[in-house]
Amino acid sequence: MPKIVTEADRQLKRQVILDAAAHEIARIGYDRANINTIAEQAGIGRGTIYLYFKSKEEVLEVLLDSVGQLINEVIQQSIEQHGTWQYRLELLAQTFMELASDHRDYLRVHVSALHGVNRPIGAPVARWLKTTVSHLAFAFERAAERGQIRTSDPFTLALLVLAMLESFVLLPEVLDLPIHEAVARSAFMAEVLWGGIRPLHTP
């Protein structure tokens, strides 16, 4: 009888590989990240990676899709909340920061790919950006229609919000902040943003 490997086992090992890959790519970038090193860090043989992924490129694609989904979920949950948009923005900033803290390597890879140059490999993240900006812009547009926020350009606003969020992933590295400090900063970010879009009559 063959060794029995369930689909769950496969997914588990895929995750181990993805984690190792995220670590390496976050450290030295996709091009320099070495399949051999990734395998070592994943505690498996070099060839084993190719039983789980078609190529090095596919590892990155799955990685990016995975983190893209994570981010989308955070955004979705935040902006679908009941309550004021001030509150929603605070929540968005905070949960995004927590995500970045929990999955630091993944976020680094994501941001790196997003702002990275136009290699074919950047395409998936570019698509992600367009989609996510659109969703966010739509939410802003509805909010503006209802007088909950005030904006003349929901699309660009959405891009700005995403840019702010993603730039905060850089914070820990640049400022060497402990995590609770960074969370506090995210609150400030939400505050500035809210100031920029709140309806004039709000206090």
Partner DNA sequence: AATGAATGAGCTTTCATTCAT
Partner DNA sequence: AATGAATGAAAGCTCATTCAT
Nearer to DNA, 60 or 79 (CB): 60
Sign of the dihedral through C-alpha 128, 112, 36, 69: negative
Distance, in Å, from the CA atom of 89 to the CA atom of 85, rounded to the nearest integer, reads 6
Nearer to DNA, 60 or 143 (CB): 60
Q: Which of 89, 139, 143, 197 binds its own copies (CB under 8 A)?
A: 197
User: Closest separation between CB of residue 132 and its own copies, Å?
Assistant: 10
102-129 exposure pattern, b = at least 16 Cβ within 10 A, e = fewer: ebbbbbbbbbbbbeeeeeebbebbeebb
Binding status of residue 115 toward its own copies by CB under 8 A: yes
User: Closest separation between CB of residue 10 and its own copies, Å?
Assistant: 18
User: Closest separation between CB of residue 51 and DNA, Å?
Assistant: 5
C-alpha 203 chain-centroid distance: 33
Nearer to DNA, 59 or 158 (CB): 59
Nearer to DNA, 56 or 108 (CB): 56
Binding status of residue 164 toward its own copies by CB under 8 A: yes
Backbone angles phi, psi at 63, to 5 degrees: -55, -50
Task: Name the residues that contact its own copies, by CB under 8 A.
Answer: 2, 25-29, 31-32, 45, 108-109, 111-112, 114-119, 126, 129-130, 133, 151-153, 155-157, 159-160, 162-164, 166-171, 173-175, 185, 188-189, 191-198
